[in-house]
Chain A
Amino acid sequence: MSELLQYLNSLAIPDLVLCAAAVVILDIFALSIIIAASREAKLCRKRWAKVSNGLELRFWDNHYPLEADEILLGRHISADIRLSDSSVSRYHAVMTVSAGVWSITDLDSKSGTFVNDRRVKQARLHPGDCIRLGSVQMYLAKQSAPEPAGKRKGGGQRA
């Protein structure tokens, strides 16, 4: 060990070179972590596509990708999908997913929740189903094309 130290001292490596090398390695490590994280994000998106079945809600020209396992629909400002219509309750219904199957649960709304024109308290949803909250009608459909995160139709705004 002491011989190794003597040898290293005899090399007289300048501090600048040593520190620069350590800093460069740390930088490369940080960069590799960012690359690995982006690969993981892709993997998680694939997994989510399996879980959520790659569905979206369509309402006129608006497309709402279903990006969480619990989505609150209503008129309130805090609802995930906000429907500014007086026939929709503040907290109207909630959509949940399990193993690629979406369900909708009515939250005791005044005007009711309808799936294919049938009033429901809780119902399983399938692609192509027509969902009506009050007088607002929406369709559940397969996502047309993968959109980059944060860029949706309507400038990234929910409603």
Chain B
Amino acid sequence: MLKNGLNYGGVITLLLLTHLSMLGIVLVRGNYQAPQDLLYLALAVLGLDLIGIIAAAIYRQMTYTLDIMLLGILNMSLIFQSCFGGVKLDIKHLITCVAAMVACEIGFLLTRNHEWIRKQKKYIYIIIGILILAILTLTGGRSMWITFKSFSIQPSEFIKPCFVLICAASIVELHKKIKVLFFYVSIDTLCLLAMTVVIFGLQWWCRDLGSLPTFAAIFGCALVCRLCYPRAKINKTAIAAMCVGGVLLAMVAWMLAPAYVQERLHADIWADPYGTGYQQCQALIGVARGGWLGVGAGHGRLAGVFAHESDIVFCTICEEWGLLYAGLTVVMILIMLTTVLMNPPKSYYHATMTAGVVAAFVAQMALNIFGSCNLIPFTGVTLPFISEGGSSMVTCGFLVGMLKAGQSPLFHHEVLRRKQAKKQKQGASAQNGKVSA
């Protein structure tokens, strides 16, 4: 069925078994009013599995593990989200899961030809500019959200894949430098630096400190790739200097941070467990209540706490499904990212792009999990693929599409062959038209 000659029957069977076993746990331990609620959830999960496998089979790819992993994690997410506070199919989350899968295919098709996408960098800069303008003008104040009645989107999420793409574009143009006075400068590097400063400034102004480390991780990765090139000798001195510079910059930012940031950095949640520390205290109590195996799907108390489905979703899963299952869910996401490293991309563009995407996911996961467990300051970012939220899910899907592109790239000669075939086809159809006329 899948078009690369390998047999995926066993993996797909195990994917279905994984979801069925989760549904089995919900059936026996779940909190549902009517059996139909569970039936609808099961139909949605198995339907999404089927659609996902058919969608993956449409395009010829060299690798399919990312598609299967994405499908597995999205459906796990759908089951988790549908069970919080009582089992009922979360239609909104189902729609965002489908949107994430569509975004994944779009991301894959747009970025698989690295020569084409790197020529589009000026349009990517324009897109980022439009998104920044949208944030400044449409959000209404120092916020990252654009709200239309009951529907809201976060444009800053869409900047992430664009930022990864411009970082990747800057590395392949490394040797194209011009001499200004006594210095050789790369226009691409200057543009990237300027855009980074603008994005960081915007995040600071909008007080969205959650996304700031994610962008910093992407930029850091691009910088390392720029200094070392993916397959070249690692320049330890440059990396050490960069780390020292990063630490110094972080210390300065820490010291100069405004009062509301200082408050978050030095917050003692147990000093005010029913006030400012309520959310995190409840989250930690939830983790403790859940133990290894959890209290059962839909039986958790965290469902009544604000942002239980997004910012503290890891703790909500820990409470209902247990630390074991929550930990394994995170491991599944990490395995998805690791499979990409098993098959390194064959172009600098894709290698830098892959490194940036992996850095973004790892940074965001660390911020969410460690933040909700009070190990680092709580910044309120989403857990990739698991948290509810359309902007986040679509962005995650697009980023996975970019990872897929690195695994199944379109090489130059294949593009030429396709163009020739298209021309021949057009020529043949034109001749047929003449003959029939």
Residues on A lying within 8 angstroms of B by beta carbon are 1-2, 5, 8-9, 13, 15-16, 18-19, 21-23, 25-30, 32-34, 36-41, 43-44, 47-48, 51, 67-70, 72, 74, 76-80, 82, 90-91, 94, 96-99, 107, 149, 157-159
Nearest chain B CB to A41's CB is how many angstroms away?
4
Q: Given the known inter-chain contacts A22-B24, A39-B6, A78-B226, please indicate yes or no for A69 contacting B411, CB distance below 8 A.
A: yes
Of B119-127, B232-240, B267-275, B374-382, which binds chain A? Answer: B232-240
Q: Given the known inter-chain contacts A40-B64, A69-B412, A158-B231, please indicate yes or no for A29 contacting B4, CB distance below 8 A.
A: no
Question: Which residues, 1 to 19 on B, are CB-close (under 8 Å) to A?
Answer: 4-6, 8, 10-11, 14-15, 17-18
B304 interfacial contact with A, CB 8 Å? no
Hey, which chain B residues are within 8 Å of A74, CB to CB? 175
Q: Given the known inter-chain contacts A25-B21, A77-B235, please indicate yes or no for A40 contacting B346, CB distance below 8 A.
A: no
Grouping DSSP codes into helix (H, G, I), strand (E, B) and loop, the A interface class, with mixed when no group exceeds half, is helix
Grouping DSSP codes into helix (H, G, I), strand (E, B) and loop, the B interface class, with mixed when no group exceeds half, is helix
User: A80, B325: Cβ atoms under 8 Å?
Assistant: no
Question: Could you say which of A19, A22, A32, A68 contacts B231, with CB atoms under 8 Å apart?
Answer: A68
Task: Please name 7 pairs of A and B residues whose Cβ atoms are closer than 8 Å in the assembled complex, sorted by A.
Answer: A9-B28, A23-B324, A25-B21, A67-B231, A72-B175, A80-B231, A149-B344
Complex CA gap A36/B416 in Å reads 30
Nearest chain A CB to B205's CB is how many angstroms away?
34
Nearest chain B CB to A19's CB is how many angstroms away?
5
Hey, which chain A residues are within 8 Å of B194, CB to CB? none
Question: Which residues, 308 to 333 on B, are CB-close (under 8 Å) to A?
Answer: 322, 324-325, 328, 331-332
User: B72, A29: Cβ atoms under 8 Å?
Assistant: yes
Closest to A39 in B: B6
Hey, which chain B residues are within 8 Å of A25, CB to CB? 14, 17-18, 21
Hey, which chain B residues are within 8 Å of A39, CB to CB? 6
Complex CA gap A50/B50 in Å reads 34
Nearest chain B CB to A85's CB is how many angstroms away?
16
User: A40, B4: Cβ atoms under 8 Å?
Assistant: yes
User: A68, B293: Cβ atoms under 8 Å?
Assistant: no
User: A37, B65: Cβ atoms under 8 Å?
Assistant: yes
Interface residues contributed by chain B, number (CB under 8 Å): 64
Question: Which residues, 227 to 278 on B, are CB-close (under 8 Å) to A?
Answer: 227-233, 235, 238
Question: Could you say which of A41, A77, A159 contacts B227, with CB atoms under 8 Å apart?
Answer: A77
User: A18, B24: Cβ atoms under 8 Å?
Assistant: yes
B174 interfacial contact with A, CB 8 Å? yes
Hey, which chain A residues are within 8 Å of B62, CB to CB? 40, 43-44, 47
User: A38, B342: Cβ atoms under 8 Å?
Assistant: yes
Interface 1/0 per residue, B337-374 and A, CB below 8 Å: 01100111011100100000000000000000000000
Hey, which chain A residues are within 8 Å of B407, CB to CB? 40, 44
Question: Could you say which of A37, A48, A79 contacts B346, with CB atoms under 8 Å apart?
Answer: A48
Q: Given the known inter-chain contacts A5-B35, A107-B175, please indicate yes or no for A37 contacting B322, CB distance below 8 A.
A: no
User: B229, A8: Cβ atoms under 8 Å?
Assistant: no
Complex CA gap A40/B406 in Å reads 13
Nearest chain A CB to B321's CB is how many angstroms away?
9
B136 interfacial contact with A, CB 8 Å? no
Q: Given the known inter-chain contacts A32-B10, A36-B6, A37-B339, please indicate yes or no for A68 contacting B232, CB distance below 8 A.
A: no
